[in-house]
Amino acid sequence: MANAALNIVAICGSLRKDSYNRIVMNALPGLAPEGMRIVEAPPFSDFPLYNADAQNTTGFPPAVTALGDAVRAADGVIIVTAEYNFGIPGGLKNALDWLSRVPNQPFAGKPIALQSASPGPLGGGRVQYDLRRAFVFLDALVLNKPEIFIGNCTQRIDDKTGQITDEPTRGFIKQQLSAFAKFIAAHGGKV
Ligand SMILES: Cc1cc2nc3c(=O)[nH]c(=O)nc-3n(C[C@H](O)[C@H](O)[C@H](O)COP(=O)(O)O)c2cc1C
């Protein structure tokens, strides 16, 4: 049987206009295997700070519902994120906290792939393990390997042209996306 199209949504954990992680996210469609369609998820930048009182009085903001619906409808989610202070950037963590409270929690059973870029040598290694821990609680299915940590990213990504200039990095990302397609075929299936 021919591979059915895989609809993937990508979330960038950095809100910065010229973000290296955003450049990586924007490059993903060009590095994806045949049959994998990757689009950016609805934004979380306008989510209010999570507060259970707000949830219980005014309910879920429309932007939260929109992102939750997009995640739920997708065959898989790719998170490309910066690392802040050895952890998850506050905006992204706030988005995960909102989504974790939405009925029919959208990450449950959802295949996830993680990528991170940093000017530092570890490329955001620590934020990925923070995300993995959060996704355990959310019952998501996080791809184990290959891992994508783009260290020393200023030498591999040109923020003037918005391109990943380092060919091995492009190759590693291609390998991960192919592995992600197989992972979804083996373990995915929308719930
Ligand atoms: C608040 C803050 C905390 C940071 N903490 C880390 C860190 O823990 N590890 C790291 O590798 N880089 C850290 N950095 C540097 C970021 O990796 C760098 O700013 C990077 O460009 C952010 O990703 P972006 O280009 O996608 O916005 C931090 C930057 C900021 C602004």
- Number of CB atoms found within 10 A of residue 119's CB: 14
Instruction: Provide the domain limits for residue 142.
Output: 6-186
Q: Is this model's pTM higher than 0.85 or not?
A: yes
Q: What is the 3-state secondary structure (H, E, C) of the chain?
A: CCCCCEEEEEEECCCCCCCHHHHHHHHHHHHCCCCEEEEECCCCCCCCCCCHHHHHHCCCCHHHHHHHHHHHHCCEEEEEECCECCECCHHHHHHHHHHHHCCCCCCCCCEEEEEEECCCCCCCHHHHHHHHHHHHHCCCEECCCCCEEECCHHHCEECCCCEECCHHHHHHHHHHHHHHHHHHHHHCCCC
Q: Is residue 92 part of a domain?
A: yes
pLDDT tens by residue, 94-121: 999 999 999 999 999 999 999 999 999 9
CATH number of residue 92's parent domain: 3.40.50.360
pLDDT at 191: 58
Contacts of residue 63, Cβ cutoff 8 Å, sequence gap at least 6:
42, 43, 44, 46, 47
Q: How far apart are CA 2 and CA 5, in angstroms?
A: 9
Minimal-distance CA residue to ligand 1 atom 10: 83
Residue 54 pLDDT level (bands cut at 50, 70, 90): very high
What's the 124 CA to ligand 1 centre distance in angstroms? 8
The 10s digit of each residue's pLDDT in 70-84 is: 999 999 999 999 999
Q: Chain centroid to CA 111: how far? A: 11
Pocket test residue of 11, 14, 45, 83 for ligand 1, highest count of atoms within 8 A of CB: 83
| Residue 168: inside a domain | yes
Which amino acid residue places its CA nearest to atom 1 of ligand 1? Answer: 84
Residue 191 lies in a domain: no
Residue 1 within any structural domain of the chain: no
CA of 84 to the centre of ligand 1 (A): 5
Provide Rg for the chain, Cα atoms: 16
Output the CA 83–ligand 1 centroid distance in Å.
5
Place of tokens 């940590």: 149
Do the Cβ atoms of 127 and 84 come closer than 8 Å? yes
pLDDT tens per residue across span 7-43: 999 999 999 999 999 999 999 999 999 999 999 999 9
Select from 25, 84, 148 the residue to mutate for testing ligand 1; criterion: most ligand atoms less than 8 Å from CB.
84
CA of 82 to the centre of ligand 1 (A): 6
Residue 73 lies in a domain: yes
Mean per-residue pLDDT, 132-157: 98
Protein residue with its CA nearest to atom 23 in ligand 1: 82
Residues 153-170: tens digit of each pLDDT = 999 999 999 999 999 999
Pocket of ligand 1, candidates 18, 23, 85: which has the most ligand atoms within 8 Å of its Cβ, to mutate?
85
